[in-house]
Structure 1
């Protein structure tokens, strides 16, 4: 580059070829702005592919960016059913890969290109004079440098999970015990089954990732003799995991919580509360977790489902003003604070809330939320639409931020639920109508049975279903046991979407 004044002719650099990064690319193409996408993995949606076995809890119509859809439709894309819930693998194969392979995007997407540092040409973080006119420089792992007029960092947080230590620091011995510890969302019933079947697994964490792993492990308990599951949470109660009742904007979160409660009540999962992990001691084939109060639990495997955190290391030479609590922009922090908000109560936001003191650098998507677990994929799409409009000089569109979501934030009372129950029935080799019959029968038995577990067992006997399988189906149904008694024909049976991923929300 001969003259700094030609900076506007440089491409916009997009870091990450996941859902939000590719959405940014689609909007940049529509606006006629040059761009380059760099992806550390070897394919589009590389991180999503690592939890490909998990089903999202919002349907296709909320998982496809508008600009991306326009590009795909023009190319004759076989669009999926808008109301179906995709798995992570289906999201990659049915959407992200076809999008990345479009002629408008493919030549500008580079794989195996990991950014290790960002800066400005000729100036360090201290220098102010000429800073805004200096192009960005991105250094890749191999030493190559790419110049850009702006940077949209959609690299996410999947590669930087939180630690086991309850105080945010690695527990003593955690690094040495790495061989025993898996991070969030292992494929317990699929490719990772042999690592968990017939063994004792301790799941640490109280969020959605922990919940989904616990539900999968509970199924494995029924399938593989000797399988045991312990759930460790640092709080004195599991209210967070069980949902917020009437105060919770997500009914499906309550359903998931009731499923967990059922597993604990029936003894399929052993719960340890107030267990703040301070040390991890690897042994001969097992690992011991030590709590601050001296209690211990020994396991064959540990699943660390403690959430994720952003890594701003690559931007250490840029001028960032981050919220001291969440690690996001200060303007965004009060809008997404998990102490105050769930996914459904986060309002739309864009360029104004995501702007940093470093002009032209924007962290978007999951990374933009810092440590807040309330991110929505659709929110990320609106973020990049707003930012790209601003880069194109269309400030009216940039500040007209909107978000089209179901009325509860990500789930409605019937949204996609049928597919989940059909899938569960098929997994257990049962007719598709059995889950609904089971819940209707259990509701009839509940007043006399006195407990959810006893009502479920009575219903299983009535329908000729294995009691263990019945309890698994009941756990999936969750809060149906808080519904009014079913009529004789089951007409009051109400399907509720079970949140089964961190893929679209609250990861």
Structure 2
């Protein structure tokens, strides 16, 4: 019996060969894809919706990452940088998001071979095939991609031979509502709700000082914010913090002696101690069903242990995690897992009910391949709603994908990844986010 070769073929044509690969997003993963393509001599364009490189990372840049520098730099990017005299910062020290950008991502983005192909302030509104919607099949793989983009008031379609979607999920937070739908009454309270990881002790201090803040979510983003609020309470009278979770225990931020990411283990210990000493008021088992205004304050209504209860606060921090924005991909043929919305072949490898951040198996182009040949979702977005992503994982993803785009199937298939052993990353405490790589 002859075994079928299931390796997808790289579509080529005279037209495709003249077009660049489109990379959506100029964060660490998008620029790593650019570096890998540059090494292989493949033309590309990087499209970033923000007005600066790694705009989403900059938004939470005050937060310290869990991983040390040695796990945060893409190998191809490192080679390009070191050719200019750049040196890796202290390998065993974990940087903040701002340091990651300033000491690594920005220097990478300024390399001529990347800077000359990067456009800021360009939002990708949709991806399709040139002259085809998702229902047309004949000649599809050899037809260029068309990316509908908006830059200021200008809307245009750009063509590409392949697309790497590294747009992340930070701009698509999960709902505060426990059922996943938009929160009833959200419009009434929207001005009192902040995104995950606000800069409590810096830029956003005035929002929280002297007020009662409720942090919703059971993950590390919530823990980082709560510890900052506890510190603010010691400096600003009248500042209080409540941690509201829908399960009975915040498993994801529990300290673990088996966690090789020391900063993450320490975060869990500090959060547990802050709750035990009364610096943070923990309200568990609270399933939010709606919200409403009560004068100048916010009232969250929910179910708790079989009863309808209310919780009143001044400010709400939505740290319930993130989900991929799939609206822009409606005309692309996708095969996604029904539960976590990750590529279907990848989903079993990253299921947070089974895997921690450090037990994810190596994976590359095969697991990321979609029915739409030449289209790949990578990075945090490839994990869908799973919160277990590490930057090192994304770097290996794009190395494999770019090797496949270059026609180097042997290299693309040789996927290797060594991750630090980590503690529990579970969605049994669903409604939390994991930050940071």
TM-score, with structure 2 as normaliser: 0.91
| Residue in 1 that maps onto 2:348 | 334
Task: Tell me by how many angstroms 1:377 deviates.
Answer: 0.3
Q: Is 2:325 the counterpart of 1:316? A: no
User: 2:245 aligned to 229, 233, 250, which one?
Assistant: 233
Task: Tell me by how many angstroms 1:258 deviates.
Answer: 2.6
| Residue in 1 that maps onto 2:48 | 39
Are the structure 2 counterparts of residues 250 and 73 from structure 1 closer, same or farther at C-alpha, using a change threshold of 3 Å?
closer
User: 1:222 aligned to 231, 234, 246, which one?
Assistant: 234
Computing the radius of gyration from Cα coordinates, the structure with the larger value is 1
- Asked if 2 retains the 8 angstrom alpha-carbon contact of 1:250 and 1:344, the reply is no
Are the structure 2 counterparts of residues 225 and 241 from structure 1 closer, same or farther at C-alpha, using a change threshold of 3 Å?
same
- Asked if 1 retains the 8 angstrom alpha-carbon contact of 2:220 and 2:252, the reply is no
| Residue in 2 that maps onto 1:387 | 401
Task: Tell me by how many angstroms 1:42 deviates.
Answer: 1.1
| Residue in 2 that maps onto 1:471 | none
Task: Tell me by how many angstroms 1:410 deviates.
Answer: 9.4
- Asked if 1 retains the 8 angstrom alpha-carbon contact of 2:215 and 2:241, the reply is yes
Q: Is 2:87 the counterpart of 1:75? A: no
User: What are the within-5 Å matches in structure 2 for residues 441-456 of structure 1?
Assistant: none
| Residue in 2 that maps onto 1:116 | 125
User: 2:195 aligned to 183, 195, 200, which one?
Assistant: 183
User: 1:271 aligned to 260, 282, 293, which one?
Assistant: 282
User: What are the within-5 Å matches in structure 2 for residues 104-503 of structure 1?
Assistant: 104-141=113-150, 142-243=154-255, 245=256, 253-292=264-303, 293-406=307-420, 408-409=421-422, 502-503=435-436
- Asked if 2 retains the 8 angstrom alpha-carbon contact of 1:38 and 1:114, the reply is yes
Q: Deviations over 1:422-479 (max 9, x none)?
A: xxxxxxxxxxxxxxxxxxxxxxxxxxxxxxxxxxxxxxxxxxxxxxxxxxxxxxxxxx
User: 1:53 aligned to 62, 68, 75, which one?
Assistant: 62
SS of 1:132's partner is coil
**Greater strand content:** 2
Q: Is 2:93 the counterpart of 1:93? A: no
SS of 2:37's partner is helix
Task: Tell me by how many angstroms 1:117 deviates.
Answer: 0.7
Task: Tell me by how many angstroms 1:6 deviates.
Answer: 1.6
Which whole-Å CA distance do the structure 1 matches of 2:265 and 2:99 have between them? 26
Are the structure 2 counterparts of residues 240 and 502 from structure 1 closer, same or farther at C-alpha, using a change threshold of 3 Å?
closer
Q: What CA RMSD, in Å, does the superposition of the two structures yield over aligned residues?
A: 1.9
Gaps of 5+ in 2: 1-11, 425-432
Which whole-Å CA distance do the structure 2 matches of 1:40 and 1:137 have between them? 17
Task: Tell me by how many angstroms 1:104 deviates.
Answer: 1.1
- Asked if 1 retains the 8 angstrom alpha-carbon contact of 2:257 and 2:265, the reply is no
Are the structure 2 counterparts of residues 233 and 409 from structure 1 closer, same or farther at C-alpha, using a change threshold of 3 Å?
closer
Q: Deviations over 1:224-253 (max 9, x none)?
A: 11111111000123334325x578776654
Which whole-Å CA distance do the structure 2 matches of 1:382 and 1:175 have between them? 41
Task: Tell me by how many angstroms 1:174 deviates.
Answer: 1.4
Report which stretch shifted further, 40-49 or 75-84.
75-84
| Residue in 1 that maps onto 2:5 | none
Q: Deviations over 1:18-52 (max 9, x none)?
A: 00000000000000000000000111111100001
Runs of 4+ in 1 over 4 A off after TM superposition: 245-254
Which whole-Å CA distance do the structure 2 matches of 1:296 and 1:96 have between them? 44
The number of residues matched between the two structures is 412
**Greater helix content:** 1
Which whole-Å CA distance do the structure 1 matches of 2:260 and 2:339 have between them? 23
- Asked if 2 retains the 8 angstrom alpha-carbon contact of 1:18 and 1:45, the reply is yes
Task: Tell me by how many angstroms 1:284 deviates.
Answer: 2.7
SS of 2:215's partner is strand
SS of 1:206's partner is coil
| Residue in 2 that maps onto 1:475 | none
Task: Tell me by how many angstroms 1:5 deviates.
Answer: 3.6
Gaps of 5+ in 1: 412-499
Q: Deviations over 1:333-378 (max 9, x none)?
A: 1100011111011111100000000000000000000000000101
Which whole-Å CA distance do the structure 2 matches of 1:4 and 1:230 have between them? 59
SS of 1:276's partner is strand
